[in-house]
Amino acid sequence: MLCIFLGEATQGPPSRGPWVASSQEFLAMTEEACRLRCLEAVGAGSCPERSALPFALEIAPGVRHFPEYLDRGEQAALLEQLREIWRGAPLFTPRMPRTGKPFSVRMTNCGPLGWVSDIDGYRYQANHPETRRPWPPFPPRVLAAWAELALGSPPPEACLVNVYGGSARMGLHQDRDEDEFSAPVVSLSLGDEAVFRIGGTTRDSPTRSFRLRSGDAMSLGGPARLAFHGVDRIVAGTSTLLPEGGRINLTLRRVTKP
* H or E element at residue 24: helix 23-28
- Residue 85 sits in the site that holds ligand SIN (CB under 6 A): no
CA distances from residue 254 to 9, 120, 132, 155, 183 in whole angstroms, order as listed: 24, 22, 22, 7, 6
- Residue 178 sits in the site that holds Mn ion (CB under 5 A): no
Interacting span for Mn ion (CB under 5 A) from 27-35, 118-126, 168-176, 190-198? 168-176
Query: What CA–CA distance (Å, rounded) separates 75 from 145?
Result: 12
Can you tell me which of 108, 109, 214, 251 binds ligand SIN, judged by CB under 6 A?
A: 251
Residue 153, contacted partner among Mn ion, ligand SIN, none, CB below 5-8 A by kind: none
Residue 194, contacted partner among Mn ion, ligand SIN, none, CB below 5-8 A by kind: ligand SIN
29 or 236: whose CB is closer to ligand SIN?
236
Q: How far apart are the first and last CA of the chain?
A: 35
Can you tell me which of 58, 148, 157, 175 binds Mn ion, judged by CB under 5 A?
A: 175
Is 196 in contact with 209 (CB distance < 8 Å)? Answer: yes
Query: What CA–CA distance (Å, rounded) separates 117 from 167?
Result: 20
Interface of this chain with ligand SIN, residues 195 to 234, rule: CB under 6 A: 196, 212, 229, 231
**Amino acid letter for position 136:** P
Q: How many beta carbons lie within 10 A of that of residue 171, not counting itself?
A: 13
- Residue 109 sits in the site that holds ligand SIN (CB under 6 A): no
Comparing C-alpha atoms, which of 114, 60, 68, 119 is closest to residue 89? 114
- Residue 188 sits in the site that holds ligand SIN (CB under 6 A): no
Residue 109, contacted partner among ligand SIN, Mn ion, none, CB below 5-8 A by kind: none
* H or E element at residue 42: helix 31-42
Interface of this chain with ligand SIN, residues 133 to 172, rule: CB under 6 A: 160, 162, 170
- Residue 187 sits in the site that holds ligand SIN (CB under 6 A): yes
Q: Tell me how far, at minimum, the Cβ of 17 lies from Mn ion, in Å.
A: 23
Q: Which residues in this chain contact ligand SIN in the complex, by CB under 6 A? A: 160, 162, 170, 187, 194, 196, 212, 229, 231, 249, 251
